[in-house]
A and B are shown apart, each in its own frame.
Chain A
Amino acid sequence: MAMVTANGIRHHVQQMAAKDTVLGEAPVVVFIHGLCIDSLASFYFTLAAPTSAAGFEVLAYDMRGHGRSEKPATGYRLSDFVEDLHELLNEMDVHRPVHLVGNSFGGTVAFSYAVAHPERVASVVMIETGPATEDWSTELGAVLERAKQLEDPEVITAIEDTYDPHTLRRAKSLRDGLRNTTIAREVPSGPLLSAEQIESVECPVLAIYGGDSIQAALHAKPLQRLLPRCRAEIVPNASHWVLVEAPQAVRDLLLPWVSEHEANASLLLEGASA
């Protein structure tokens, strides 16, 4: 298991080399998972292998407080996750501008990263989320507030009676994660992005939503108002977990997207050396 220290945190990293690389440097795709009960596994077992087979370098990592990465008690603002990603790319010598693909909160991290370090991002793909706006913060805060109910032993008993052992274990692990760290309090605090910051993103942005989720209604229109060139796609009959429910559909959107926008990576590199 590869561990890379970035921004003072030991991060669990998984890489897959590009297969059948055509001439030149392979595009780099970075997968960023979602909050609390998610880990790099969601990407590792769905999109990572097909992305590598398509001729792209794959980098997936567990964010701080998640999966096999270090779990500090505090330090869970959005800016901490953005800085982690920046240092991780530097530590791993990834200097070619990357295609960031983030699931849920990971997509929000990806977008904030593109605001902070536009020269390092060839494109952004956000799955089931939007940029860190006031509305994003309010909705996420409410979700995390509801998760606090897991502290009530009766709620845990009800889950035990109603669901399978796997769900129970995930609920307990979520409860413990929220209890042992300040993640629930810190994440919604952002820092949030202004309209000007959102409008400043020049790289191509693709937003993918599950047709049965509320996220498209929350984020798609406001995002397209600020970023008219942003493309939004809805995968029918899928929930917030569209990535694991319909990986084929997400893959069919992602792979052509990376090929289409890889030229942007070269343009950014030329701009940097000019």
Chain B
Amino acid sequence: MDWMRYKFIFFTLSGLMIVLGILGLFKWGLKFGVDFKGGSLIEYKFEKGISTEGIDKKLEEEGLKLNSIQALGDNKYLLRLASLDKEGKEKLKKVLENLSYSGVEELRFETVGPSIGPELVRKTIYAILIASGVILAWVAYQFKNLKFGISAILAMFHDSFLLIAGYSFLGHFYNVEIDFLFVTALLTTLSFSVHDTIVVFDRIRESQKKFDDRSKKSSNLLKDSFSRLANQAVTETMVRSLNNSFTILFMLTSLILLGGVSIRWFAVALFLGTILGTYSSPFVAVPLLVSWDKVFRKNPSKKSKTG
């Protein structure tokens, strides 16, 4: 199948998604959780259900600022507040006990100072840069060509960016916050994306070798051959790529549905990342590679008709 014929559709689709992502990021931004912003997060289990109405006013009377309260089901509630100290925590517990007329069990308490977040962001950026640098070097070395490495890395950034941008939508519509686990999901997406891309690239390299042997005998085969090799590689790896992603998606679906609230959005992030990583290999990385090859193989001063 001639996938590369449609590469402008793929580019346009990715371009559209990126523009949409930028719009989302500008309009809504990202909702950062306590891991980044600082503050407190506390999860309680009540013996009976409570009415959350007016709870913020009651807490305000005690000098506590409630940012949000979220029912987790099973009489469990997750509260987000400005940083709580020991006294604040006791006050909060008292208010809630009065509210529910029953016992309150503290399941989880997290409080993060404001200096932690920026450090986390910086360390994550370093980790991403170092990992991409090393992956770039490895791919370039393994394929003896920088264009493979750069195409793979670009596809990887494409996926990471869209995942982050997707979270501006999830944050806006479902109040999903960016936390430490999201960072983990992002980094996984990164490595999965490259993993998937390398399999396709590997196929291109392999058929290129076979092809080079043949084209030594007859030179007229050269014309537009790279894109044909790419097509062949995409076709040959498509089923594998889909099957593999299905198995991962099965795992993640099960985690989303049954894994519990604390990792639900983490699993969703991984789910999106897997889809993006699977999509980007044949439809972003390979078209990029083919376009690159076209631009550089033809006269560099003259732009080619199609690319």
- A and B co-occur in one complex: no
Interface residues of A (CB under 8 A from B): none
Could you list which residues of chain B lie within 8 angstroms of chain A, going by C-beta atoms? none
